[in-house]
């Protein structure tokens, strides 16, 4: 089984049933996971920030870094894999924790989750499941053959989404 890793700002996609897509250490970042069950194609983005307007140069190099650039890029990549109607895709979200701001003033995690949802709605997509918020780091993987998602966190039992 090949493991395709999405670092911060990366998007990975596969239609190989032997592959697993994975991203590590989601704190305030959000993993956006899209899966087309009929074609067995999975995509995963590790989104770090809600808006690319202050760093457009970075957005052009790392399209998965921002919520507003990652969603259109994921849709484009899915089309390259033969998904002509993005309504054939389900979406799940993981991450968006409030890791460092105990008072909740900045709460980048919550802002990331809201921005991802806003940009999903532009494509008439919504998350069918999510594990977001809290104050824990998460690692997440998706099996391309089954669409099964596993979430790992320190001091918590491994779980499915």
Is the residue at 23 inside a domain? yes
Write out the two tokens for 92.
Answer: 């799940």
Give the closest residue to 109 by CA, choosing from 129, 140, 132. Answer: 132
Query: What CATH number does the domain containing 30 carry?
Result: 3.30.1330.200
Share of the chain above pLDDT 70, in %: 94
Alpha carbon 32 to chain centroid, angstroms? 2
Across residues 110-139, what is the average pLDDT?
95
Q: Examine the pLDDT at 125 and tell me if it is beyond 80.
A: yes
User: Which residues are known to be catalytic?
Assistant: 29
Separation between Cα atoms, residue 40 and residue 24, nearest integer Å:
23
Separation between Cα atoms, residue 154 and residue 99, nearest integer Å:
14
- φ/ψ of residue 95, rounded to 5: 115, -140
> pLDDT tens for residues 39-55?
999 999 999 999 998 77
> pLDDT tens for residues 21-34?
999 999 999 999 99
Is the residue at 160 inside a domain? no
What is the residue range of 56's domain? 2-152
Across residues 55-84, what is the average pLDDT?
89
Q: Examine the pLDDT at 147 and tell me if it is beyond 70.
A: yes
Stretch (H or E) spanning 3: strand 2-5
Is the residue at 65 inside a domain? yes
Stretch (H or E) spanning 113: helix 108-121
Is the residue at 159 inside a domain? no
Q: How many domains does the chain have?
A: 1
């Amino acid at each position: 089984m090949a493991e395709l890793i999405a670092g911060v700002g990366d998007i990975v996609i596969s239609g190989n049933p032997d592959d697993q897509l994975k991203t590590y250490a989601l704190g305030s970042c959000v993993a956006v996971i899209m899966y087309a069950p009929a074609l067995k194609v999975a995509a995963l983005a590790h989104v770090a920030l809600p808006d690319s307007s202050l760093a457009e140069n970075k957005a052009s190099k790392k399209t998965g870094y921002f919520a507003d650039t990652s969603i259109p890029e994921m849709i484009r990549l899915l089309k390259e894999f033969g998904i002509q109607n993005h309504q054939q895709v389900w979406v799940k979200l993981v991450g968006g924790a409030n890791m460092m701001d105990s008072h909740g003033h900045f709460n980048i995690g919550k802002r990331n989750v809201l921005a991802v949802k806003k940009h999903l709605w532009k494509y008439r997509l919504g998350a069918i499941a999510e594990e977001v918020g809290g104050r824990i780091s998460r690692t997440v993987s998706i099996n391309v053959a089954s669409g099964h998602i596993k979430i790992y966190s320190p001091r918590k039992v491994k779980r499915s989404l």
